[in-house]
Structure 1
């Protein structure tokens, strides 16, 4: 093969390799997450609905419904705390009966980047009782009828979940 032809073939091969190298797929682009909510108002409305659904499910369970699971509205610390609380009540032979009513739910802040929502809730527990295994009311006499909570929610695959419920006395004032 003559040197000129060899040089042309080598140049063509190198050019083809360079061209193909530019066409090889690199790492896939990282998709930009789609926000769960279009607005702060939408996030606050969704958070309130999740909290109301959670309280309704807890009330139904406290009153004997077996086809509801309030824990499906919880995640993180809130779920771990609830599992521990249920276990402790069962060990002690105690249960809660009656209903709790939401006096109010006030959205406080929304973080668009994480879709997290912070809220304050005031729960009226005056119509609920703590009873022992014999059915005797053992509700503490000094129990407050209103319970204030700081409620934090974060998104998961199915929407918002309550990730923390922290007592907050100022929530009911």
Structure 2
């Protein structure tokens, strides 16, 4: 199916990351924390769940800021996504941003993040995986076509809960996936 500006607009507004919306069709059960994994050092990367959540929130805020800037300004190098996302997630998002830019659509406004809730932390003592819920507030985030007309879908939700996956360590957490969450909202 060709990607029309209206179709791209709907995808982008549903959660900043265009490619993540394919996961909307079915809800997964809420993740549960696995049993602790013992490592050679037996020391967790983060001292607490609160510390892990704080690091994940900071990383997702950086990712959202970069993604929002890239969708607003076609002159910014999309390679900046590689600073805040894993290579595979960055590649998917860069492809979608390319389609958006080719169609002449850009965004204005900001995505406000709130309602963070930790879903899962996996930690082997060397690397960590974190999944959290985040509310993406989209009421100020608009889609503008090449003629300058607001093409934001009139029926789009103003707030969407996402399940955000991150991976890395204490010095660098990268977003590896964002999926719309149809379970209990944190918005």
The TM-score normalised by the length of structure 1 is 0.70
Work out the CA distance in 1 between the residues paired with 2:69 and 2:105: 17
Q: Please name the residue that 1:16 is paired with.
A: none
- Deviates further, 70-79 or 103-112: 70-79
User: Is 1:123 aligned to 2:132, yes or no?
Assistant: no
Counterpart of 1:75 (choices 56, 65, 86) is 86
Counterpart of 2:122 (choices 111, 114, 119) is 111
Q: Please name the residue that 2:180 is paired with.
A: 167
Counterpart of 1:153 (choices 166, 176, 182) is 166
Q: CA deviation at 1:72?
A: 1.8
Does the CA-based 8 Å contact 1:148-1:168 persist in structure 2? yes
Counterpart of 2:54 (choices 45, 54, 76) is 45
Distance change in 2, residues 1:66/1:88 (3 Å)? closer
Does the CA-based 8 Å contact 2:45-2:170 persist in structure 1? no
- Deviates further, 73-82 or 121-130: 73-82
Q: Which one has more relative contact order, counting CA pairs under 8 Å at least 6 apart?
A: 2
Work out the CA distance in 1 between the residues paired with 2:148 and 2:170: 40
Q: Tell me which structure has the larger Cα radius of gyration.
A: 1
Higher-helix-fraction structure: 1
Work out the CA distance in 1 between the residues paired with 2:83 and 2:132: 19
Work out the CA distance in 2 between the residues paired with 1:41 and 1:103: 15
Report how many residues are paired: 143
The TM-score normalised by the length of structure 2 is 0.65
Matched position secondary structure for 1:54: helix
In structure 2, stretches of 5+ residues that fail to align are 1-39
Does the CA-based 8 Å contact 1:103-1:124 persist in structure 2? yes
CA RMSD, Structure 1 to Structure 2 (Å)? 2.8
Work out the CA distance in 2 between the residues paired with 1:88 and 1:95: 11
Q: Please name the residue that 1:95 is paired with.
A: 106
Work out the CA distance in 1 between the residues paired with 2:131 and 2:170: 19
Distance change in 2, residues 1:83/1:59 (3 Å)? closer
Work out the CA distance in 1 between the residues paired with 2:71 and 2:96: 14
